[in-house]
Amino acid sequence: MANILRRRGWEIPEREATPESVYLERRRFLKTLGLAGASLALGGAFAGADRALAAARAAGAGAPKAAPAAKALYPAKRNPQFKLDRPLTDEKVAAAYNNYYEFTEQKENVIKVVDKFKPRPWTVEIAGLVSKPRTIDVDQLIRALPAEERLYRHRCVEAWAMAVPWTGIPMRAFVKWAQPLSSAKYVRTVSFLRPDEAPNQAHATWYKWPYYEGLRLDEATNELALVTFGIYGHDLPTQHGAPLRIVTPWKYGYKSAKGIVKFEFTDKQPATFWHDVAPDEYGFLSNVNPKVPHPRWSQATEHMIGTGEIRPTQAYNGYAAWVMEMYDEKSRTFRS
Ligand SMILES: Nc1nc2c(c(=O)[nH]1)N[C@H]1C(S)=C(S)[C@@H](COP(=O)(O)O)O[C@H]1N2
Ligand SMILES: [Mo]
């Protein structure tokens, strides 16, 4: 490890600065002019994404009918250390191409079968090895800790990718707030079980619902992990995991559990949904790794949804500087 230069995202030399920094600069500039969020005919590679985000914000596209109380949460202050190397995915594209097996296995159709789902009222249970197990209303939880906006890449194990602005609470702060005992080594998440509202939970009975996932506590308290309640500057719509999900951008998408009702702190590595479905194909760590192919396809490249652009997959999805110190050689080389 000694020879690994730990370089943070905000320390990249100027020549490596991405077009994203141009985007952020312009956003700041427009803000001073009072134009931020306006749909302007701007030139350049990022005009499309800019316009998409601005128009989406103006129209509330894809946004659930937010409870009036939710409004004060947006826009959350953007954390500038997380920069993108590609344009943001169009909001409408991201909202109409989802993995959410509780609803349907067809990504294009999730958006069409979410109508019955009621993301509120909603409670979240904090359980297991914590000093005080409790159940809390999701909106109380969201307001208990400072939130921020982060632009992250997302890489599905199926080799599609997107880049979106999430709003959430750094998971490190959430874990601290949850007060795990020193014996806790993992945090396990459990998602909802509502076959009346999520059709595939009623239909696909061969799966072990509800969806369950987990992280090591060092991963959960890494700077990148985000307890997420918003996207594109508004509450998550159901298909993106309302009202609360995890986002772990250095891991394949299935680690980013949606529709969470419970966080359970444990001292044993928790079983995980996809590993139990196909142990040879999906590990516990599931860090993005271009060198380790899925048994049925290569992970060397990925395609951006919406544009179809093909890009080389990056180790840890481009987040190695934040996370690689947590992993040993074996976990970097094998499907784990
Ligand atoms: N509860 C639950 N969470 C889930 C999934 C799921 O089927 N159920 N799919 C995962 C997968 S495979 C991916 S790629 C992402 C997709 O998130 P998105 O639809 O918001 O893009 O959600 C993850 N979280
Ligand atoms: Mo995925």
pLDDT digits (tens, 9 = 90+) for 29-79: 434 434 443 333 333 344 444 445 555 555 555 555 555 454 589 999 999
Distance (Å) from CA 164 to ligand 1 centroid: 14
Distance (Å) from CA 162 to ligand 1 centroid: 13
For residue 186, what are the β-bridge partners? 216, 266
Q: Domains of the chain by range and CATH?
A: 27-331 (3.90.420.10)
Residue of 3 and 105 predicted with greater confidence:
105
Tokens found for residue 195: 């076959």
- pLDDT, position 135: 98
- 258 C-beta closer than 6 A to ligand 1: yes
Please compute the mean of the pLDDT values over residues 84-107 and round it to a whole number. Answer: 98
**Cα–Cα distance between 205 and 13 in angstroms, integer?**
52
- pLDDT, position 72: 81
Number of C-beta neighbours around residue 309 at 10 A: 12
Mean pLDDT of the chain: 85
Q: Determine whether 224 is exposed, middle or buried from the number of CB atoms within 10 Å of its CB (0-12, 13-18, 19+).
A: buried
Q: Which amino acid is at 202?
A: A
Which residue from 256, 260, 261, 263 has its CB within 8 A of the most atoms of ligand 1, so it is best to mutate?
Answer: 256
- 100 C-beta closer than 6 A to ligand 1: yes
Tokens found for residue 4: 């690994």
Is residue 205 within 8 Å of 176, Cβ to Cβ?
no
- Is the confidence at residue 290, as pLDDT, over 70? yes
**Cα–Cα distance between 151 and 140 in angstroms, integer?**
24
Ligand nearest to the CA of 154: 1
**Cα–Cα distance between 267 and 218 in angstroms, integer?**
13
**Cα–Cα distance between 322 and 311 in angstroms, integer?**
21
Distance (Å) from CA 278 to ligand 1 centroid: 16
- pLDDT, position 335: 74
Residue range 312-327, pLDDT digits in tens: 999 999 999 999 999 9
**CA distance to 181, 189, 216, 217, 223, per residue, from 266 (Å):** 9, 11, 9, 9, 21
Q: Which amino acid is at 272?
A: T
Ligand nearest to the CA of 158: 2
- 232 C-beta closer than 6 A to ligand 1: no
